[in-house]
Structure 1
């Protein structure tokens, strides 16, 4: 419950103005419509999910408690479990024996499902062990997936710099595979956007897109010349034929 009577939508509008952002700018950073922002600020649309409030607070660079009208608690460190994720990212050799690929795919799928259902607290506890497991397997595909999950989770937890590190690990794991590199670049762009580095995020996205686009094919010079020569050779013959027909 909030400790004052100011609606949360009005607080969102107040902080948006303080950050010199228009409704459209806020909507773009949230990947939502301007209409959605307008309805939130007018109280027409309720903010009943804490994950959405966290996302708003992150973009507006305030604590979620400020939007909720709650007194700010004493400064705290990173969310529980983030230090374990940081330690797992700092390890380059897995401390455990590699597991079977099918079991690892099941774990990666479970982690993605947990993320999609916003079970972040549960996922924080799972990610360190998952990172250790996929490092032992040395599968580029599984490594990219695990690092992408880690990066996405860290963005949601407000750890943008650590999220960028995880996304960069995904890019390294992708190697020369253009598809894996492109999917990893999505995480790089998300982490950079969370750090308010929109231009770098766009650059990373375009670079990945260029890697997977097919190279344009042009006809060889001799083919162009041959076609042009063939057309040139035919034209006098056709004209002569037309002349005889007309005569």
Structure 2
């Protein structure tokens, strides 16, 4: 089995021990799309610049995807958005998921109104706009996606469109911040096209531009466009804003540029002035380490991220669960997965990596089969 470092194929320890019950979600979609494109395994391997063995293992259920560059390479080879391979946005399962799933409809309606002659919507209520924007952002941070989603329709009504004579700097800043809050939520749900369209209408004043740029870089990364993410950040300014250093560091790691990734992380660490910011640096370092296959480093860096909000902490726990699985620590991996779901249920269930892990862990962590089955049922995954 290939262990090509450029792609970071998994350890043989894990794949040799797996007695798979079938391919993961990415593996299933990969097979379907490869056949639709009329490609053999070798053809796709050449197009995607990945080992043929990796594709065979994914399709046979003996491997899973836990790195952005692997997913984006396969998507490029198939001429797809990475979401087509992960299955996002997922069909709603349960009332909370149904609530957040409806955001796609509200976002489309909002964008249509912005493009219409009647899209301006009048003068904004500054106090209410600030209140709802903070509410969406805090609920998202706290892992309460359904609560955040419930506030979005009213927020979109208040955002309106930039008025021709809108010279009120505070209102412009609030509108841009609201676009970022809603776009981040849409990105988490898998509505990346809608998130990008919303960001393109943010029209931020200078002090809000770093927050918009940060979300744009994260969004491009999720779209499998690490090179574009780097170019976007560099195009804005020679001096990259502090908020953008972390997604930029992950982007460089995704591209295999470890030295530049570490330089950016060190710069972010120097500028961090709170426990939360230092935790965010540690978390980004863990995600960067995962991209280069440094699984022990993933776990080491994750220990420094103790002050993350629940939503971000859950994503980090899913990442450490994957790293532990790669290292053969199956029981601990299941514990991390369960802890992530306890912290932020919908965040965890809508994370594509969660679905990959729930597909591969039952064959590895047989003593935790019951707990994994319960998680799978809540994901509506067998």
TM range (shorter): 0.5 to 0.7
Q: Is the 8 A contact 1:154 1:160 kept in 2?
A: yes
User: Residues 54-203 of structure 1 correspond to what in structure 2 (within 5 A)?
Assistant: 61-63=85-87, 79-92=101-114, 93-95=119-121, 98-99=124-125, 101-135=126-160, 139-170=171-202, 173-175=203-205, 177=206, 179-203=207-231
Deviation at 1:160, TM superposition (A): 1.1
Q: Which secondary structure does the structure 1 equivalent of 2:101 belong to?
A: coil
Aligned to 2:307: none
The answer to whether the 8 Å contact 1:167/1:191 transfers is: no
Distance in 1, Cα, partners of 2:212 & 2:223:
17
Secondary structure in 2 matching 1:201 = helix
Contact map agreement 1:96 1:132 (CA 8 A) in 2? no
Q: CA deviation at 1:212?
A: 6.5
**1:182, 1:208 within 8 Å by CA — same for their partners in 2?**
no
Q: What's the secondary structure of 1:174's corresponding residue?
A: coil
Larger Rg: 1
| Candidates 209, 232, 238, aligned match of 1:204 | 232
Measured against aligned partners, the alpha-carbon deviations of 1:83-118 in whole angstroms (never above 9, x if no partner) come to: 11211122233446532x233222211110111123
Cα pair 1:134 1:146 within 8 Å, conserved: yes
Q: Against the structure 1 CA distance between its residues 210 and 131, is the aligned structure 2 distance closer, same or farther, given a 3 Å change threshold?
A: farther
Aligned residue for 2:86, secondary structure, equals coil
TM-score (normalizing by structure 1): 0.52
Tell me how far 1:209 sits from its aligned partner.
4.0
Name the structure 1 match of 2:315: none
Distance 1:6 1:123, change over 3 A: farther
Shift of residue 153 of structure 1? 1.0
Number of aligned residues: 163
Note closer, same or farther for the CA distance 1:122–1:7 as it changes in structure 2 (3 Å cut): farther
Going from structure 1 to structure 2, the CA distance change for 1:205 and 1:136 (only over 3 Å counts) comes to: closer
In the alignment, structure 1 segments of 5+ residues that lack a partner are 31-57, 67-77, 214-247
Q: Does the Cα contact within 8 Å between 2:122 and 2:160 map onto a contact in 1?
A: no
Compared CA separation, residues 131 and 166, structure 1 to 2 (3 A): same
Q: Structure 1 stretches (4+) deviating beyond 6 angstroms?
A: 12-16
Task: Tell me how far 1:199 sits from its aligned partner.
Answer: 1.3
User: Residues 109-136 of structure 1, C-alpha deviation per residue, up to 9 Å, x if partnerless?
Assistant: 1110111123223323322321221337
1:182–1:211 Cα contact (<8 Å) kept:
no
What do the CA deviations read for 1:43-62 (whole angstroms, capped 9, x no partner)? xxxxxxxxxxxxxxx77922
CA RMSD of the aligned region, Å? 4.0
CA distance in 2, matches of 1:19, 1:156: 29
Change (3 A) 1:116 1:18: farther
Q: Is the 8 A contact 1:155 1:163 kept in 2?
A: yes
Distance, in Å, in 1 between the alignment partners of 2:26 and 2:186 is: 26
User: 1:208–1:7: structure 2 CA closer, same or farther, 3 Å change rule?
Assistant: farther
8 Å CA contact 1:161, 1:191 repeated in 2: no
